[in-house]
Amino acid sequence: MLTAFTGARIFDGVALHDDAVLLTEGEGIVEVGSSVPATAEIVTLGGGLLSPGFIDLQVNGGGGVMVDGTTTAASLRAICQTHVRMGSTGILPTLITDSFAATARVVEAGVACLGAPGFLGLHLEGPHLDPRRKGAHDPALIRPMEDRDLAMLISAAQRLPALMVTVAPAAVRPDQIAALVRAGATVSLGHAECTYEEAMAAFTAGAHCATHLFNAMSQLGNREPGLVGAVLDQRLPAGLIADGIHIAPATLRIALAAHPDGLFLVSDCMAAAGTTEREFMLGGRRILREEGRLTLEDGTLAGADLSLPQAVAFMVRTIGLAPARTLAMATRVPAAVIGRADLGQFTPGARADLVHLDADFQVLNVWQAGEKRV
Protein backbone atom coordinates (compact mmCIF):
# COMPACT_ATOMS: atom_id res chain seq x y z
CA MET A 1 0.00 0.00 0.00
CA LEU A 2 1.15 3.51 -0.77
CA THR A 3 1.59 5.86 2.18
CA ALA A 4 1.66 9.64 1.69
CA PHE A 5 3.36 11.81 4.30
CA THR A 6 2.09 15.38 4.20
CA GLY A 7 2.06 18.53 6.31
CA ALA A 8 5.81 18.93 6.95
CA ARG A 9 8.78 20.37 5.11
CA ILE A 10 10.66 17.50 3.46
CA PHE A 11 14.42 17.12 3.28
CA ASP A 12 15.29 14.57 0.60
CA GLY A 13 18.99 14.16 1.44
CA VAL A 14 20.06 17.15 -0.65
CA ALA A 15 17.43 19.89 -0.57
CA LEU A 16 14.43 21.06 1.44
CA HIS A 17 10.96 21.04 -0.15
CA ASP A 18 7.89 22.99 0.92
CA ASP A 19 4.36 21.77 0.15
CA ALA A 20 5.69 18.40 -0.98
CA VAL A 21 4.50 14.85 -0.37
CA LEU A 22 6.68 11.86 0.49
CA LEU A 23 5.36 8.61 -0.94
CA THR A 24 6.46 5.26 0.47
CA GLU A 25 5.40 1.71 -0.31
CA GLY A 26 6.15 -1.01 2.19
CA GLU A 27 9.80 -0.72 3.22
CA GLY A 28 10.85 1.63 0.43
CA ILE A 29 10.71 5.18 -0.87
CA VAL A 30 8.64 5.84 -3.99
CA GLU A 31 9.28 9.55 -4.53
CA VAL A 32 9.04 13.09 -3.23
CA GLY A 33 6.12 14.50 -5.21
CA SER A 34 3.51 17.22 -5.21
CA SER A 35 0.23 15.31 -5.01
CA VAL A 36 -1.41 12.53 -3.02
CA PRO A 37 -2.56 9.50 -5.04
CA ALA A 38 -6.17 8.56 -4.49
CA THR A 39 -5.15 5.07 -3.32
CA ALA A 40 -2.65 6.25 -0.69
CA GLU A 41 -3.03 6.10 3.06
CA ILE A 42 -2.36 9.62 4.35
CA VAL A 43 -0.14 10.46 7.33
CA THR A 44 -0.63 14.11 8.26
CA LEU A 45 2.33 15.38 10.24
CA GLY A 46 1.07 18.81 11.26
CA GLY A 47 4.26 20.81 10.74
CA GLY A 48 7.92 20.27 11.44
CA LEU A 49 10.45 18.66 9.13
CA LEU A 50 10.59 15.14 7.67
CA SER A 51 14.09 13.83 6.96
CA PRO A 52 15.74 10.54 6.12
CA GLY A 53 16.65 8.75 9.34
CA PHE A 54 19.95 9.83 10.82
CA ILE A 55 23.06 7.67 10.33
CA ASP A 56 25.60 7.60 13.18
CA LEU A 57 28.95 5.97 12.42
CA GLN A 58 30.40 6.29 15.95
CA VAL A 59 28.23 4.99 18.78
CA ASN A 60 30.03 3.59 21.82
CA GLY A 61 26.84 2.72 23.65
CA GLY A 62 23.42 3.83 24.83
CA GLY A 63 20.59 3.00 27.16
CA GLY A 64 23.06 2.10 29.91
CA VAL A 65 24.83 -0.44 27.68
CA MET A 66 28.43 -0.09 26.49
CA VAL A 67 30.10 -1.82 23.55
CA ASP A 68 32.89 -3.80 25.25
CA GLY A 69 34.30 -7.27 25.66
CA THR A 70 31.04 -8.53 27.18
CA THR A 71 28.92 -7.36 24.23
CA THR A 72 26.36 -9.78 22.81
CA ALA A 73 23.93 -9.59 19.91
CA ALA A 74 21.22 -8.74 22.45
CA SER A 75 23.18 -5.78 23.81
CA LEU A 76 23.86 -4.51 20.28
CA ARG A 77 20.13 -4.70 19.54
CA ALA A 78 19.42 -2.80 22.77
CA ILE A 79 21.84 -0.04 21.75
CA CYS A 80 20.19 0.19 18.32
CA GLN A 81 16.76 0.45 19.93
CA THR A 82 17.95 3.28 22.18
CA HIS A 83 19.30 5.24 19.24
CA VAL A 84 16.24 4.88 17.04
CA ARG A 85 14.31 6.68 19.78
CA MET A 86 16.93 9.44 19.46
CA GLY A 87 16.43 9.73 15.70
CA SER A 88 19.26 7.52 14.41
CA THR A 89 17.70 4.76 12.32
CA GLY A 90 21.09 3.28 11.43
CA ILE A 91 24.26 3.08 13.53
CA LEU A 92 27.70 1.51 13.73
CA PRO A 93 28.13 0.32 17.34
CA THR A 94 31.73 1.19 18.20
CA LEU A 95 34.30 -0.67 20.25
CA ILE A 96 37.20 1.44 21.50
CA THR A 97 40.66 -0.01 22.11
CA ASP A 98 40.49 -3.44 23.73
CA SER A 99 42.22 -6.82 23.67
CA PHE A 100 42.29 -9.16 20.69
CA ALA A 101 39.88 -11.53 22.45
CA ALA A 102 37.42 -8.74 23.28
CA THR A 103 37.52 -7.42 19.72
CA ALA A 104 36.89 -10.89 18.31
CA ARG A 105 33.92 -11.36 20.66
CA VAL A 106 32.38 -8.06 19.53
CA VAL A 107 32.81 -9.08 15.89
CA GLU A 108 31.00 -12.36 16.56
CA ALA A 109 28.22 -10.46 18.36
CA GLY A 110 27.93 -8.22 15.32
CA VAL A 111 27.62 -11.17 12.96
CA ALA A 112 24.92 -12.63 15.23
CA CYS A 113 23.11 -9.26 15.11
CA LEU A 114 22.75 -9.20 11.31
CA GLY A 115 19.28 -8.09 10.26
CA ALA A 116 18.46 -6.30 13.51
CA PRO A 117 16.71 -2.96 12.87
CA GLY A 118 19.23 -0.13 12.85
CA PHE A 119 22.35 -2.33 12.91
CA LEU A 120 24.56 -1.32 9.97
CA GLY A 121 27.78 -3.02 11.05
CA LEU A 122 30.61 -2.21 13.46
CA HIS A 123 33.21 0.47 14.04
CA LEU A 124 36.43 -0.76 15.67
CA GLU A 125 38.21 2.34 17.00
CA GLY A 126 41.57 0.83 17.88
CA PRO A 127 43.59 -0.84 19.29
CA HIS A 128 45.98 0.01 16.43
CA LEU A 129 46.40 3.64 17.40
CA ASP A 130 49.20 6.00 18.45
CA PRO A 131 49.70 6.19 22.24
CA ARG A 132 50.83 9.81 21.82
CA ARG A 133 47.21 10.59 20.91
CA LYS A 134 45.47 8.05 23.11
CA GLY A 135 42.67 10.31 24.38
CA ALA A 136 40.54 8.20 26.76
CA HIS A 137 41.79 4.90 25.28
CA ASP A 138 43.73 2.61 27.60
CA PRO A 139 47.41 2.98 26.60
CA ALA A 140 48.18 -0.51 27.92
CA LEU A 141 45.98 -1.98 25.18
CA ILE A 142 47.19 0.15 22.24
CA ARG A 143 49.49 -1.85 19.95
CA PRO A 144 50.65 -2.28 16.34
CA MET A 145 48.59 -4.45 14.00
CA GLU A 146 49.80 -8.05 13.84
CA ASP A 147 49.04 -10.79 11.31
CA ARG A 148 46.28 -12.30 13.47
CA ASP A 149 44.64 -8.87 13.83
CA LEU A 150 44.66 -8.35 10.08
CA ALA A 151 43.21 -11.81 9.44
CA MET A 152 40.43 -11.26 11.96
CA LEU A 153 39.58 -7.83 10.54
CA ILE A 154 39.53 -9.10 6.95
CA SER A 155 37.14 -11.85 8.01
CA ALA A 156 34.96 -9.32 9.85
CA ALA A 157 34.82 -7.03 6.82
CA GLN A 158 33.67 -9.93 4.67
CA ARG A 159 30.99 -11.06 7.13
CA LEU A 160 29.52 -7.72 8.22
CA PRO A 161 27.46 -5.32 6.09
CA ALA A 162 29.90 -2.53 7.02
CA LEU A 163 33.12 -2.41 9.01
CA MET A 164 34.88 0.84 9.86
CA VAL A 165 38.34 0.50 11.38
CA THR A 166 40.11 3.48 12.96
CA VAL A 167 43.89 3.18 12.85
CA ALA A 168 46.97 5.38 13.13
CA PRO A 169 49.83 5.34 10.60
CA ALA A 170 52.26 4.61 13.45
CA ALA A 171 50.52 1.28 14.16
CA VAL A 172 49.69 -0.06 10.68
CA ARG A 173 51.57 -0.55 7.42
CA PRO A 174 50.26 0.64 4.05
CA ASP A 175 49.96 -2.97 2.84
CA GLN A 176 47.75 -3.77 5.84
CA ILE A 177 45.51 -0.81 5.03
CA ALA A 178 45.30 -1.94 1.40
CA ALA A 179 44.35 -5.49 2.45
CA LEU A 180 41.56 -4.17 4.69
CA VAL A 181 40.18 -1.98 1.93
CA ARG A 182 40.25 -4.88 -0.56
CA ALA A 183 38.21 -6.90 1.95
CA GLY A 184 35.58 -4.15 2.07
CA ALA A 185 36.50 -2.28 5.25
CA THR A 186 36.32 1.50 5.55
CA VAL A 187 39.69 2.51 6.97
CA SER A 188 39.66 5.75 8.93
CA LEU A 189 42.65 7.57 10.42
CA GLY A 190 42.41 8.77 14.00
CA HIS A 191 44.20 8.95 17.34
CA ALA A 192 47.31 9.70 15.29
CA GLU A 193 50.34 11.91 15.74
CA CYS A 194 51.46 11.86 12.12
CA THR A 195 52.87 14.16 9.48
CA TYR A 196 51.06 15.23 6.34
CA GLU A 197 53.26 12.84 4.32
CA GLU A 198 52.50 9.90 6.64
CA ALA A 199 48.78 10.62 6.39
CA MET A 200 49.02 10.85 2.60
CA ALA A 201 50.81 7.48 2.44
CA ALA A 202 47.91 5.94 4.37
CA PHE A 203 45.38 7.62 2.08
CA THR A 204 47.27 6.38 -0.98
CA ALA A 205 47.06 2.86 0.47
CA GLY A 206 43.27 3.18 0.70
CA ALA A 207 42.36 4.89 3.97
CA HIS A 208 39.53 7.24 3.08
CA CYS A 209 38.19 8.85 6.22
CA ALA A 210 39.15 10.50 9.51
CA THR A 211 37.69 9.80 12.93
CA HIS A 212 36.43 12.79 14.98
CA LEU A 213 38.37 15.42 13.06
CA PHE A 214 40.58 17.70 15.21
CA ASN A 215 40.32 15.45 18.27
CA ALA A 216 43.23 13.16 19.15
CA MET A 217 45.27 13.90 16.04
CA SER A 218 48.12 16.07 14.74
CA GLN A 219 46.82 19.57 14.11
CA LEU A 220 47.11 21.97 11.18
CA GLY A 221 50.32 23.99 11.41
CA ASN A 222 51.88 26.59 9.17
CA ARG A 223 54.80 24.37 8.13
CA GLU A 224 53.46 20.92 9.02
CA PRO A 225 49.79 20.42 8.01
CA GLY A 226 49.44 17.24 10.07
CA LEU A 227 46.49 14.89 9.80
CA VAL A 228 43.95 17.71 10.04
CA GLY A 229 45.62 19.51 7.16
CA ALA A 230 45.79 16.34 5.05
CA VAL A 231 42.06 15.68 5.49
CA LEU A 232 41.05 19.24 4.67
CA ASP A 233 43.49 19.51 1.75
CA GLN A 234 42.29 16.26 0.19
CA ARG A 235 38.65 16.91 1.18
CA LEU A 236 38.23 13.40 2.53
CA PRO A 237 35.23 12.31 4.62
CA ALA A 238 35.61 13.02 8.32
CA GLY A 239 33.41 12.83 11.39
CA LEU A 240 32.76 15.85 13.58
CA ILE A 241 31.61 15.92 17.21
CA ALA A 242 29.48 19.08 17.12
CA ASP A 243 28.75 19.73 20.78
CA GLY A 244 30.61 23.01 21.31
CA ILE A 245 33.08 21.17 23.58
CA HIS A 246 35.20 18.97 21.31
CA ILE A 247 35.68 21.64 18.61
CA ALA A 248 35.48 25.41 19.01
CA PRO A 249 32.73 27.01 16.89
CA ALA A 250 35.25 29.13 14.96
CA THR A 251 37.30 26.02 14.15
CA LEU A 252 34.17 24.29 12.89
CA ARG A 253 33.35 27.20 10.62
CA ILE A 254 36.88 27.20 9.20
CA ALA A 255 36.68 23.45 8.49
CA LEU A 256 33.29 23.81 6.81
CA ALA A 257 34.63 26.61 4.59
CA ALA A 258 37.64 24.48 3.59
CA HIS A 259 35.62 21.29 3.06
CA PRO A 260 32.23 22.01 1.42
CA ASP A 261 31.00 18.42 1.22
CA GLY A 262 32.17 15.30 3.02
CA LEU A 263 32.21 16.25 6.68
CA PHE A 264 29.60 14.37 8.68
CA LEU A 265 28.23 14.37 12.21
CA VAL A 266 28.85 11.67 14.80
CA SER A 267 27.62 11.46 18.37
CA ASP A 268 30.60 9.52 19.82
CA CYS A 269 28.14 8.86 22.64
CA MET A 270 28.61 6.42 25.50
CA ALA A 271 26.40 4.16 27.61
CA ALA A 272 24.77 7.19 29.24
CA ALA A 273 23.02 8.16 25.99
CA GLY A 274 19.26 8.00 26.38
CA THR A 275 19.51 7.77 30.19
CA THR A 276 19.81 10.08 33.19
CA GLU A 277 22.90 8.29 34.52
CA ARG A 278 25.49 10.60 36.06
CA GLU A 279 28.41 8.18 35.84
CA PHE A 280 29.36 4.77 34.45
CA MET A 281 32.39 2.54 34.01
CA LEU A 282 34.63 2.27 30.95
CA GLY A 283 37.19 -0.52 31.05
CA GLY A 284 37.37 -0.34 34.83
CA ARG A 285 37.63 3.46 34.82
CA ARG A 286 34.98 5.81 36.14
CA ILE A 287 33.36 8.19 33.62
CA LEU A 288 31.69 11.31 34.98
CA ARG A 289 28.78 13.10 33.28
CA GLU A 290 28.31 16.78 34.03
CA GLU A 291 27.08 19.82 32.07
CA GLY A 292 27.16 18.05 28.71
CA ARG A 293 30.61 16.54 29.23
CA LEU A 294 31.82 12.99 29.73
CA THR A 295 35.26 12.80 31.32
CA LEU A 296 37.65 10.50 33.08
CA GLU A 297 38.33 11.46 36.67
CA ASP A 298 41.43 13.36 35.51
CA GLY A 299 39.28 15.54 33.22
CA THR A 300 40.16 13.82 29.92
CA LEU A 301 37.20 13.87 27.53
CA ALA A 302 35.75 10.37 27.16
CA GLY A 303 33.32 10.39 24.27
CA ALA A 304 30.44 12.83 24.10
CA ASP A 305 27.10 13.44 25.77
CA LEU A 306 25.39 14.07 22.45
CA SER A 307 22.73 12.87 20.01
CA LEU A 308 22.64 13.60 16.30
CA PRO A 309 19.51 15.81 16.60
CA GLN A 310 21.39 17.86 19.21
CA ALA A 311 24.38 18.09 16.87
CA VAL A 312 22.14 19.23 14.01
CA ALA A 313 20.57 21.89 16.21
CA PHE A 314 24.02 23.11 17.30
CA MET A 315 25.23 23.37 13.71
CA VAL A 316 22.18 25.35 12.62
CA ARG A 317 21.65 27.55 15.69
CA THR A 318 25.24 28.18 16.82
CA ILE A 319 27.43 27.65 13.76
CA GLY A 320 24.92 29.18 11.36
CA LEU A 321 25.06 26.38 8.79
CA ALA A 322 22.12 26.05 6.43
CA PRO A 323 19.65 23.37 7.56
CA ALA A 324 19.88 21.41 4.30
CA ARG A 325 23.67 21.15 4.45
CA THR A 326 23.53 20.26 8.15
CA LEU A 327 20.91 17.55 7.65
CA ALA A 328 22.99 16.05 4.84
CA MET A 329 25.83 15.69 7.35
CA ALA A 330 23.60 13.44 9.47
CA THR A 331 22.04 11.46 6.61
CA ARG A 332 23.33 11.24 3.04
CA VAL A 333 27.02 11.91 3.74
CA PRO A 334 27.62 9.27 6.45
CA ALA A 335 25.54 6.75 4.50
CA ALA A 336 27.82 7.30 1.49
CA VAL A 337 30.94 6.77 3.62
CA ILE A 338 29.90 3.15 4.24
CA GLY A 339 28.57 2.67 0.71
CA ARG A 340 24.86 2.70 1.53
CA ALA A 341 23.13 4.59 -1.27
CA ASP A 342 19.84 3.08 -0.05
CA LEU A 343 20.04 5.11 3.17
CA GLY A 344 20.14 8.78 4.04
CA GLN A 345 18.14 10.06 1.09
CA PHE A 346 14.62 9.94 -0.30
CA THR A 347 15.36 8.46 -3.72
CA PRO A 348 13.21 5.80 -5.41
CA GLY A 349 13.99 2.40 -3.92
CA ALA A 350 15.80 3.74 -0.86
CA ARG A 351 14.75 2.35 2.50
CA ALA A 352 11.85 4.14 4.17
CA ASP A 353 13.74 5.24 7.28
CA LEU A 354 12.25 8.57 8.37
CA VAL A 355 12.63 11.00 11.24
CA HIS A 356 10.07 13.75 11.94
CA LEU A 357 11.54 16.76 13.77
CA ASP A 358 10.01 19.85 15.31
CA ALA A 359 11.26 23.42 14.78
CA ASP A 360 13.98 22.87 17.39
CA PHE A 361 15.11 19.58 15.79
CA GLN A 362 13.58 17.50 18.58
CA VAL A 363 12.43 14.04 17.53
CA LEU A 364 8.65 13.68 17.15
CA ASN A 365 8.27 10.45 15.16
CA VAL A 366 10.54 7.79 13.66
CA TRP A 367 9.91 5.09 11.06
CA GLN A 368 12.27 2.24 10.17
CA ALA A 369 11.71 0.41 6.88
CA GLY A 370 8.22 1.90 6.81
CA GLU A 371 7.28 0.79 10.34
CA LYS A 372 6.59 3.41 13.01
CA ARG A 373 8.97 3.08 15.95
CA VAL A 374 8.44 6.35 17.83
Which residues are marked as active site?
Answer: 268
* Cα 331 → chain centroid: 10
List strand residue ranges (DSSP E) for 97-185, in order. 122-125, 163-167
Count the neighbouring beta carbons within 10 Å of the beta carbon of residue 75. 20
Distance of CA 82 to the CA centre of its chain: 15
Alpha-carbon gap, residue 371 to 373, rounded angstroms: 6
Distance CA 19, CA 17 (A): 7
Pairing state between β 354-357 and 49-52:
antiparallel
285 touches 294 (CB < 8 A): no
Rounded to an integer, what distance in angstroms lies between the CA atom of residue 253 and that of residue 195?
24
Per-residue b or e along 234-262, where b marks 16 or more CB atoms closer than 10 Å to that residue's CB:
eebbbbbbbbebbbeeebbeebbeebeeb
CB 128 within 8 A of CB 145: yes
Peptide bond before residue 174 is cis, with ω within 30 degrees of 0: no
